[in-house]
């Protein structure tokens, strides 16, 4: 019988394939007495050879020339005979292979660091080689995204932003992490790539590499060791589900007559995110994250550079609405040209609009560049909003500057409870608000969104969170102003009817998530959505709120077959 592991499912899909674990940088164990120094030398040499072979293999598979050059260079360093000779000199009766490798790279690292300049920057490369060689010598997986040479299910403790860069969706079939929650980077990445995913799946890292596993994202279940008839059964389920999902484009034909009218918009970070998605069904962009223009730079992008970037997005959107979020810096996104003294808790410190008020010239340039881009594109519809706004006074401050720059439609994000509780006063100062459900959940429950142990508090079905969203929507309805939602919860097809029933006017998500959300909304009447929303907000817990939605489906008043995450 397969071993069954349970966690939080993200997305929809069943995948059957071999599991491969992503290794962490290994911890250096206590040194062991060496009885056979020659064997230890050979162990160290084999570890270096394995690292070189792995990097060479990755280089051969890489399509990006820069990545190829980097991998080739690292592979050549690991294969350098000098390293093998040096490590032989370090092994003795008190220094085993693992510690000899660690000492070897430490010495070379110190040499590079002392040289300064470019060579000092390369010292980090040696840290990567050290971690890989030590891991091999210890019999552990190498750190970083593995590449076994065939499609696989990636298992990890968790994935950070840097880890996700190396994920090739043509090779990775599904993601399973032992930690994380519904709003973690892993969950966000999975939704963006359309990969089935299970997070907070305790015990999955104990599964041996190469074990055939089945990942059911909708159920949040991972079966390890599937074979024979069970494997065939799951493969057939996966095939039927994939066929069903492939038919989502025709879901509107089955929509009820009085389905809710909610705009389904896209989250993007650059114009490339609009490639192949602008068609007759494309309704616009609900969140254009502009910080990608500013990251990894010593100086801010110029007026002309920003103008060109915004113009390209507005042109690609072909007259549809584009909601542009001004620079969201600070906290986990520090910028050298906007220095802010580190506070005791960056998430509660100077970030978003707060840092823009300290360095207003960066915001002013951005607003003026956006206004110029709007003037460049016939029929462009640009809305602009500020992140991390807590008070009506802050909203008014931003609105004055945006309108002074020539932008007509101005809004702010609602990411903290203070803003949600005073949504009416804030909406009196601006034209719209957009709810960032990830941060709003984090700040409402004082639970870090990366803390997997607190995932239950970050569950978007929490009635307290939904009550705050309901208050924002009610304020928008009273004043006749749009209230959008652009957090991860917007991509949940089970929650979308709840948001529609609360009065949210738009949902913004990745392009891959749109078909399922469209189907869920198209299968319900607005009256059904309102009844469901009232039941969910009144529920005493997230579990019972979710149960309300399940009960509605089973009663037949709702027909969406999707299950909650």
Give the whole-angstrom CA distance, residue 436 versus residue 329: 15
User: What is the 3-class SS of 324-377, one letter each residue?
Assistant: EECCCCECCECCCCCCCCCCCCHHHCCCCHHHHHHCHHHHHHHHHHHHHHHHHC
Q: Is 486 a catalytic residue?
A: yes
Give the whole-angstrom CA distance, residue 366 versus residue 360: 10
Q: Which residue has the tokens 């091999």?
A: 136
> Which helix H or strand E contains 286, and what residues bound it?
strand 284-289
Q: Which residue has the tokens 């360093």?
A: 77
DSSP one-letter code for 288: E
Of residues 358, 472, 462, 500, the one with CA closest to residue 415: 472
The alpha helices in 97-249, defined as continuous H runs, are 97-115, 117-121, 123-138, 161-164, 185-193, 228-246
81-90 helix and 37-61 helix, angle to the nearest 10 degrees = 150
Contacts of 375 (CB under 8 A, 6+ apart): 406
Q: How far apart are the first and last CA of the chain?
A: 26
Question: Under DSSP, is residue 559 helix (H, G, I), strand (E, B) or coil?
Answer: coil
Q: Which residue has the tokens 């039941």?
A: 535
Give the whole-angstrom CA distance, residue 556 versus residue 548: 13
Given 201, 486, 529, 548, the catalytic residue: 486
Give the whole-angstrom CA distance, residue 279 versus residue 115: 55
User: What is the 3-class SS of 465-515, one letter each residue?
Assistant: HHHHHHHHHHHHHHHCCCEEECCHHHHCCCCHHHHHHHCCCEEEECHHHHH
- Cross-strand partners of 508: 265
Given 99, 102, 108, 185, the catalytic residue: 185
Q: Which residue has the tokens 């280089």?
A: 59
Q: Is 529 a catalytic residue?
A: no
Question: Under DSSP, is residue 378 helix (H, G, I), strand (E, B) or coil?
Answer: coil
Of residues 289, 296, 294, the one with CA closest to residue 270: 289
CA distances to 285, 310, 409, 455, 509 from 316, rounded to whole Å, are 11, 10, 20, 37, 18
Instruction: Give one DSSP letter per residue of 91-122, joined into a string.
Output: -BTTB-HHHHHHHHHHHHHHHHHHH-HHHHHT
Q: Which residue has the tokens 């990890």?
A: 156
CA distances to 93, 461, 527, 530 from 544, rounded to whole Å, are 62, 9, 21, 17
Catalytic residue numbers read: 185, 486
């Amino acid at each position: 019988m397969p071993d069954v592991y349970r966690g939080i499912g993200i997305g929809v899909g069943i995948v059957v394939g071999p599991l491969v674990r992503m290794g962490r940088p290994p911890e250096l164990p206590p040194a062991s007495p060496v009885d056979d120094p020659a064997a230890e030398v050979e162990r160290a040499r084999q570890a270096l050879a394995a690292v070189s072979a792995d990097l060479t293999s990755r280089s051969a598979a890489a399509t990006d020339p820069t990545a190829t050059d980097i991998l080739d260079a690292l592979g050549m360093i690991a294969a350098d005979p000098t390293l093998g000779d040096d490590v032989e000199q370090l092994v003795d009766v008190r220094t085993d292979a693992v510690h000899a490798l660690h000492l070897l790279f430490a010495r070379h690292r110190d040499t590079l660091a002392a040289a300064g300049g470019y060579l000092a920057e390369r010292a980090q490369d040696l840290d990567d080689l050290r971690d890989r060689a030590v891991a091999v010598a210890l019999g552990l997986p190498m750190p970083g995204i593995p590449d076994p040479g065939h499609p696989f299910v990636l298992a990890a403790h968790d994935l950070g932003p840097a880890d996700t860069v190396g994920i090739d969706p043509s090779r990775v079939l599904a993601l399973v992490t032992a930690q994380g929650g519904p709003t973690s980077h892993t969950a966000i990445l999975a939704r963006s790539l359309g990969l089935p995913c299970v997070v907070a799946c305790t015990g999955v890292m104990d599964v041996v590499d190469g074990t055939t596993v089945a990942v059911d994202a909708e159920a949040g279940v991972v079966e390890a060791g599937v074979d024979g008839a069970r494997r065939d059964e799951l493969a057939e389920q996966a095939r039927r589900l994939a066929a069903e999902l492939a038919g989502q484009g025709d879901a509107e034909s089955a929509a009820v007559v009085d389905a809710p009218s909610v705009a389904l918009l896209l989250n993007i970070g650059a114009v490339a995110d609009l490639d192949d998605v602008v068609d007759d069904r494309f309704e616009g962009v609900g969140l254009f994250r502009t910080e990608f223009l500013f990251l990894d730079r010593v100086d801010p992008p110029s007026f002309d550079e920003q103008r060109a970037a915004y113009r390209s997005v507005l042109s690609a959107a072909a007259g549809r609405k584009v909601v542009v979020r001004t620079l969201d810096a600070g906290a986990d996104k520090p910028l050298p040209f906007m220095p802010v003294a580190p506070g005791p808790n960056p998430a509660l410190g100077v970030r978003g609009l707060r840092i823009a008020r300290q360095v207003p010239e960066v915001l002013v340039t951005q607003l003026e560049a956006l206004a110029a881009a709007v003037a460049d594109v016939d029929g462009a519809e640009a809305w602009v909003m500020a992140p991390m706004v807590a008070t009506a006074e802050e909203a008014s401050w931003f609105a004055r500057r945006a309108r002074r720059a020539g932008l007509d439609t101005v809004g702010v994000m609602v990411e903290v409870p203070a803003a949600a509780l005073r949504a009416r006063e804030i909406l009196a100062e601006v034209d719209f608000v957009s709810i960032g459900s990830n941060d709003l959940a984090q700040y409402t429950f004082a639970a870090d969104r990366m803390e997997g142990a607190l995932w239950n508090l970050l569950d978007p079905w929490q009635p307290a969170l939904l009550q705050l969203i309901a208050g924002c929507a009610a304020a928008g309805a009273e004043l006749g102003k749009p209230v959008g939602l652009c957090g991860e919860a917007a991509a949940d097809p089970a929650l979308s009817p709840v948001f529609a029933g609360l009065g949210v006017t738009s949902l913004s998500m990745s392009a891959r998530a749109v078909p399922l959300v469209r189907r869920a909304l198209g299968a319900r009447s607005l009256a059904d959505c309102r009844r469901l929303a009232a039941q969910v907000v009144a529920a005493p817990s997230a579990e019972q709120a979710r149960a309300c939605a399940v009960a509605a489906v089973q009663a037949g008043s709702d027909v969406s077959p999707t299950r909650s995450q």
